[in-house]
Structure 1
Amino acid sequence: MTTAYGGRRRRGELVVTRLPEDEELTPDRSPNIVNHSPNGFEIGYRGSGPAHLACALLLDYYEDEQFAREHYIAFRNQVVSQLECNGAAACWHLTGEEIDAAMATLTDDVVALPDGGRPSPTLPENWRTVSRPDQRVFQRADRDHYIVLGDGSDEWLVVLCSQGDRAYPTPLAHRTVAKEANVERVIRELAEESNDLIEPPEGEH
């Protein structure tokens, strides 16, 4: 029988089940690859909850950690962000064939790193440079952290942010750097600052 996945709300939380086994997926496996959302799975936007679900779906369906790591951002953007859990049935359904078809449409753009990023010799190994037409962006491969470089008239604004579990990034730290200063050093410092962040387990303060 063909593998499929279904999602529904249970006391406000998104519950995801593999069919036909009716086995519930948990977020516990995905943090070994990426650690995005402490609040579990979500759908319908390009944030951390959907990223966590995208990674879990690919990992469960293909049983390949490297494949899940390489493709979950694109899968989130094109598939999980479009899922809805509304209406009378209040559930969604995704077949294995639909996952395969979606991944086939992504192959032309996929590289061996999340979101088209490439390793940089000036950044820690878990950071990537990401191609954007309008600004320089750097992405952490194992957590939903970004560094964005903004070009002002006389200075650079370098911002470390987290997508969090919302649709808009949350600033974590920033630096203002004169144009003649070493902006690459500041980018590297913020990447290392992100790597040093330790998020306490839920319930601890």
Structure 2
Amino acid sequence: MNGNARRPTSNAVQAEALAKSHDDPVEYVGFRVDGQAVVLNLTQHQRLTPDRSLDVVTHSPTGFEWGYTGSGPAQLACGLLLDYYDDTQVAREHYIAFRNRVISQLKCDGPAACWHLTGEQIDAAMATITDDVVALPDGGKPSPTLPENWRTVTRPDRRVFQRADHDHYIVLGEGTDGWLAVLCSQGDRAYPAPLASRTVSDDADVERAIRALVDESNDLIEPPEGEC
């Protein structure tokens, strides 16, 4: 967060960086005012709004929520990670897992009718989920064969192509009859949802299959001609 050094984001040092505490204690609190969810960063005496996190993912423009796995909690998970770590990549990679393990469990119980979440608790939770990431483990790199809004990264068991401007990514791994390329979307789900796939034989053009799935991604999110 502001006032602290940025966290390193390379795959080799990210887990270690997230395990370190901030120099100063950080605490967030959530409660309701006339039924509206309100989240405060008590350390900075500021209200946390979805505005900054909406530049990363768009799940709930109308506001935050907690206590279940849905759009509002997903936006809060991204907003909290972005505010605490001040790192867009970390927020984008881990907000779904953070929502499922932390935000979905928050409740406004007790006389104060609010929840509290400390920086130490965030660090502890992130230490358990930093290996549970599908896309962009090291930020990705441009691919000479794909459009500029796609990034590619090689992992030991598969290659991942992440779309930078939308919640789409392509996973390439070994299938039963060759290579299997799957276009996925995380959305509000605990597990990625497959949108399209291609099975490619070992001697076929794998890059061509990837480009075909990129085109399918465009078809899924871009409106037909003549529509706004």
TM bin (shorter chain)? 0.5 to 0.7
- 53-62 vs 177-186, greater mean Cα deviation: 53-62
Q: Which residue of 1 aligns with 2:137?
A: 115
Which of 167, 176, 186 aligns to 1:144? It is 167
Judged with a 3 Å threshold, the aligned counterparts in structure 2 of structure 1 residues 80 and 168 are, in CA distance, closer, same or farther, namely: closer
TM-score, normalised with respect to structure 1: 0.64
Offset of residue 96 of structure 1? 5.2
* Structure-2-length-normalised TM-score: 0.59
Provide closer, same or farther for how the CA distance between residues 45 and 138 of structure 1 changes in structure 2, counting only shifts above 3 A.
farther
- Between the aligned partners of 1:13 and 1:27, the Cα distance in structure 2 is 13
Structure 2 residue 122 is matched with structure 1 residue 88: no
Matches within 5 A, 1:48-127: 52-61=75-84, 67-73=86-92, 76=95, 81-83=100-102, 84-86=105-107, 88-89=109-110, 91-95=114-118, 114-119=136-141, 120-127=143-150
1:1-205, aligned counterparts within 5 Å?
A: 4-8=27-31, 15-19=38-42, 24-32=47-55, 34-38=56-60, 41=64, 52-61=75-84, 67-73=86-92, 76=95, 81-83=100-102, 84-86=105-107, 88-89=109-110, 91-95=114-118, 114-119=136-141, 120-198=143-221
- Structure with bigger strand share is 1
Identity of aligned residues (%): 58
CA distance in 2, matches of 1:194, 1:56: 26
**What is the root-mean-square deviation of aligned Cα atoms in Å?**
4.4
Shift of 1:195: 4.2
Distance verdict in 2 for CA 1:183–1:15, change over 3 Å = farther
1:199 and 1:13 mapped to 2: Cα distance? 33
Which residues of structure 1 form unaligned runs of 5+? 201-205
Instruction: Indicate the larger mover: 188-197 or 87-96.
Output: 87-96
What is the number of equivalent residue pairs in this alignment? 191
Larger Rg over CA atoms: 2
What secondary structure is seen at the aligned counterpart in 1 of 2:221?
A: coil
User: Any conservation in 2 of the 1:131–1:137 contact (CA below 8 Å)?
Assistant: yes
CA displacement, residues 51-91 of structure 1 (integer Å, 9 cap, x when unaligned): 533432344457xxxx5322214553775553221483475
Unaligned runs of 5+ residues in structure 2 are 1-23, 224-228
Q: Indicate the SS of the match to 1:116.
A: coil
1:3-42 CA-to-partner distances (Å, cap 9, x unmatched) read 632235789986533336875433233222x224247646
